[in-house]
Structure 1
Amino acid sequence: MFEMMKSGGYLMLPLLVASVLALAIILERAWTLRRRRVSPPQLLSQVWKQLQAGDMNADQLRLLQAGSPLGSLLAAGLINARHGRELTKESIEDAATPVVHEMERYLTLLGTLAMISPLLGLLGTVIGIIDAFLVVTAGGISDPTALAGGISKALVTTAGGIFVAIPAMIMHRYYLRHIQSLMVSMEQQAVKLVDMLHGDREVDVADSQRRGAGA
């Protein structure tokens, strides 16, 4: 493997760095975007029980807000509940913007790596072909080893760029879709809390939590 990478020339170094970065981002986002961490399945029922018991104070709101992305949306709704149903929903929508931004952290870089890796491989291909033609121009095909080196560089860098790009692109698209799914589920639960606070919905917290966990 090392010899193959070495045969690809100096452009294999940025491809190696890109592969390490892409893998690190994929693993970090897999841990951070776990559904149970982002949207704890029993959080809405716990919040509702605290409200009914009168235990929801400023300290509990701060803990709720810092505990999870769903908690941040619920806390925003609770803080502004006294201002009416519509303003409460608007506050939840405003709180959702930084939540989405945080959940999409590093995904721009992952998408960039998916785009530039094939270009780096293509650049290596061009350089390898140029080297091969220079060998032919300088001495014909009397030195097949040098000619093969240029061709090898062209093939290895192309393969390296595609090898990095494919999983990076797949995971980039997967995480974007996963975040959309999480946000839909969280906003639904936050709106249910608002409706329950203003008496517009029958309280069926357990059923709503099951649907949120299965989304």
Structure 2
Amino acid sequence: MKRLFSILAITCLMVIGTVNANATTAVASATATVTNVAQEEPAAAEDTGFHQELKKRFIEGGPGFMGIVLLCLILGLAIAIERIIFLNLSTTNSKKLTQNVEDALASGGIEAAKEVCRNTKGPVASIFYQGLDRADEDIDAAEKAVVAYGGVQMGQLEKNVSWISLFIALAPMLGFMGTVIGMIQAFDKIEAAGDMQPSLVAGGIKVALLTTVFGLIVAIILQIFYNYIIAKIDSIVNDMEDSSITLMDLLVRHKK
């Protein structure tokens, strides 16, 4: 009987020990889970915090002026992206084109050179084609055609760029207008209350500051794109002018 009680006691101790160990493991696992969740929550809050904060500030700035500033950003970016794509497609390897035209002139004459230009995209190839098309008349006629068509191509490159500069100037102006309106609202509240309390003017001043900040941000973003576009246009125009001089030299040599 004593042996039976001893076996039962040992069994109970073993069961209790196992239960305690399992409970300790469960508690540790739960603690680790809670810790991981607690660590993940700030990260998730940090990920969604910027967008939520931006949305909150946008709404606080007022849908009227903030919506117009946002519209300036959308339209300005749309025009800028369209211009960047167009300018990148208009970029031509002018040295390779000049060499191909020179080889075509030597082997097949004017028509072969014109065929090379027809099969090449970009304003430089178009200018070459116009110059070669007038080459049968004389060099002066070809030069006038190149100059005239170069102006046309330059206008195509600069198309709609003035709208970007308009949005760059308009966005901060709208922001400053929102600032003035917010300050007027703040002083109206002071006048109506007959007392200078911070709570009365805080809302109007916050709206004023938010519209100014968003207007300046839009202007900065569009200014970066505008400067890139202008630099790209200048590069293509310089390439066009240099290539036009080279074409005239090729036609003079071909005439001789």
TM bin (shorter chain): 0.7 to 0.9
Report the identity percentage.
Answer: 28
- The match for 1:207 is none
Indicate how the Cα distance of structure 1 residues 104 and 165 shifts in structure 2: closer, same or farther if over 3 A, else same.
same
Q: 1:87 aligns with which of 141, 154, 164?
A: 141
Q: Shift of the alpha carbon at 1:157? A: 0.6
RMSD, aligned CA: 2.4
- The match for 1:165 is 219
Q: Distance in 2 between matches of 1:104 and 1:43?
A: 23
Q: Deviations over 1:178-199 (max 9, x none)?
A: 3122112122112212211211
Q: Deviations over 1:110-147 (max 9, x none)?
A: 01001111110110000110111111112234571x52
Q: Distance in 1 between matches of 2:197 and 2:219?
A: 37
- Is 1:180 matched with 2:234? yes
CA contact (8 A) 2:181 2:208 kept: yes
Aligned residue for 2:212, secondary structure, equals helix
Query: Is the helix fraction higher in 1 or 2?
Result: 2
- The match for 2:56 is 3
CA contact (8 A) 2:167 2:219 kept: yes
Indicate how the Cα distance of structure 1 residues 133 and 166 shifts in structure 2: closer, same or farther if over 3 A, else same.
same
Indicate how the Cα distance of structure 1 residues 46 and 57 shifts in structure 2: closer, same or farther if over 3 A, else same.
closer
Q: Distance in 1 between matches of 2:143 and 2:201?
A: 67
- The match for 2:92 is 39
- The match for 2:27 is none
Q: Shift of the alpha carbon at 1:57? A: 5.4
Q: Deviations over 1:77-121 (max 9, x none)?
A: 101112222221111110011111111112010010011111101
1:192-211 correspondence to structure 2 within 5 Å: 192-199=246-253
1:45-194 correspondence to structure 2 within 5 Å: 45-54=99-108, 56=111, 60=115, 63-64=118-119, 67-139=121-193, 140-141=195-196, 144=199, 146-194=200-248
Q: Distance in 1 between matches of 2:170 and 2:76?
A: 12
Q: Shift of the alpha carbon at 1:21? A: 1.4
CA contact (8 A) 2:178 2:212 kept: yes
Report how many residues are paired.
197
CA contact (8 A) 2:61 2:210 kept: yes
> Which structure exhibits the higher relative contact order, with contacts defined as CA atoms closer than 8 Å and separated by 6 or more residues?
1
Which stretches in structure 2 are left out of the alignment for 5+ residues? 1-53
Q: Shift of the alpha carbon at 1:59? A: 7.8
CA contact (8 A) 1:76 1:92 kept: yes
Q: With the length of structure 1 as denominator, give the TM-score of the two structures.
A: 0.82
CA contact (8 A) 1:120 1:161 kept: yes
Q: Distance in 1 between matches of 2:241 and 2:197?
A: 70
Q: Deviations over 1:43-85 (max 9, x none)?
A: 2222222333327359837725x72111111111101112222
Amino acid in the other structure paired with 1:152 = K
- The match for 2:66 is 12
Which stretches in structure 1 are left out of the alignment for 5+ residues? 201-215
Q: Distance in 2 between matches of 1:58 and 1:84?
A: 17
Q: 185-194 or 53-62: which moved more?
A: 53-62
Q: Distance in 2 between matches of 1:187 and 1:174?
A: 20
CA contact (8 A) 1:73 1:187 kept: no
